[in-house]
Structures are given as C-alpha cells and as structure tokens.
Amino acid sequence: MKRGLRFGALPALLAILCFSPLYQFFAVPLVLSNPLTRSDAIVVLGGGVDEYGEPTESTLERVHYGVGLYKEAFAPKLIFSTGVTDLFSEAQVMRRLALSWGVPTEDIVMEEDSRNSYENVLYTHRLLLEKGWQRPIVVSSPYHMRRVALVYEKAFPEEDPLYAPVRPSVFYQTTSPLHRFRQVLALIREYLALGWYWMRGRI
C-alpha cells in the first residue's frame, strides 16, 4: 500500500508543477543574465542533436541567439563548445547552422573536447586563454545558465563572464500541457544536475 502511494505521489507532483505557479517559482532561480557589452568572443554551449543529426530545439535556439549577438557586433568570434559525437558531431551541426545564417568560416572557433557543462567551462576557458580573449559572452538556455555560472565561480573565481540566456526561448512556451510537462521534466533534470555537481565539488 505504501509503495503504491509513493509511486502515485510522483504523477501528482508533476501535475502540481505543470498546472500551478510553482512551475515559475522553481524556474526563476535558474535564470541568470547580465547587461551585455562588447566582448572578444561569444561562447555558445551545445544543447543536443537527435538520432538523425538534426539540432534539438535547445541547440537551434542557442545557435540562433548567438549568431544574432554576433551580427549585432557584440563580439567578432563565435565559439561552439561541445564534443558530443554519439552519432553526429554536435559542434559540426552548430557550425553548419551558423554558416547557413551568414557567419564567415574564419569567425567560427570550435571547442570539440567537452562532454558536459563542466568541461564546457574548463575547455573554453583554456581556449580563451590561448587566444588572449577576455570576458566571453556565454549563451545557453535559461534553465542551464545558473549551473554554468556556478561552475565558473568555483573553477575560475577571478573570471567575470557575461551570461546571455536565450530570448525568446522554448523554455517559456506553455502552449500545451505536453509542452509544459516537457519543461517541468527539464527543470527537474537541471536541479538534479545541480545536486550532482555539488556532490562532485564542481560548484
């Protein structure tokens, strides 16, 4: 009986999060942004590709937003940071998107060693140091930005990146119960990731 109650509590909790103001209550602390100034580079973090090599909504909006900032002259270079290559190279998918939107090849820099958010920060920091670039603008999804910032603060407390969460973002779309459900699952995953990073001493 108790086991049944425990399993029944999970759908109830998800329903509460999906159809109540609690959704925004848990979402707001994850979002972090700064007023943007001109920088040396815009770092765009990968958000995944599907089994057909197509960018996920997250990757598509991150690249689109990063390219938009580049075209607004916030920085002369774009860095795509991800080494995920399960079936397709995520970084190459991002690069092709940027090229199709008019970014010249010479203005795209690839960081293709990182496999997670922690390594995104470490390896892009190393790349920036090698090139003598300072204070990057970091682009990612709104719910992902807090974890990225906490990693920066722990690993490189002397650094002061500019955080640019995607606007507008699918993160804020609530056009259907299914979409809201997907966003709630994303929030839960992000809080679990924060806990895991804290236990590993990464934040």
- The band of 5, judged by pLDDT with boundaries at 50, 70 and 90, is very low
Q: Is residue 39 part of a domain?
A: yes
Q: Is residue 146 part of a domain?
A: yes
Question: Hey, what are 162's tokens?
Answer: 């500019």
What residue numbers bound the domain in which 100 lies?
A: 30-170
**Could you give the C-alpha distances from 147 to 50, 92, 188, 198, 203, in angstroms and in order?**
23, 24, 13, 10, 8
In angstroms, the CA 105 to CA 118 distance is 27
- The band of 8, judged by pLDDT with boundaries at 50, 70 and 90, is very low
> What was the pLDDT predicted at 99?
97
> What was the pLDDT predicted at 41?
97
Write the CATH number for 47. 3.40.50.620
> What was the pLDDT predicted at 2?
46
- For 184, residues 6+ apart whose C-beta sits below 8 A from its C-beta are 14, 17, 18, 23
pLDDT digits (tens, 9 = 90+) for 142-196: 999 999 999 999 999 998 899 999 987 776 666 666 677 777 888 889 999 999 9
Average pLDDT over residues 125-139: 95
Average pLDDT over residues 80-95: 88
3 vs 142 pLDDT, higher one:
142
Mean pLDDT over each residue of the chain, to the nearest integer: 87
Q: Is residue 189 part of a domain?
A: no
Q: Is residue 25 part of a domain?
A: no
pTM for this prediction: 0.86
Give the total number of structural domains in the chain.
Answer: 1
Residue 6 pLDDT more than 70?
no
Q: Is residue 138 part of a domain?
A: yes
Residue 9, judged by CB atoms within 10 A of its CB (0-12, 13-18, 19+), counts as exposed
> What was the pLDDT predicted at 167?
87
Q: Is residue 199 part of a domain?
A: no
- The band of 23, judged by pLDDT with boundaries at 50, 70 and 90, is low
Residue 119, judged by CB atoms within 10 A of its CB (0-12, 13-18, 19+), counts as middle
Q: Is residue 124 part of a domain?
A: yes
> What was the pLDDT predicted at 133?
94
Q: Is residue 68 part of a domain?
A: yes
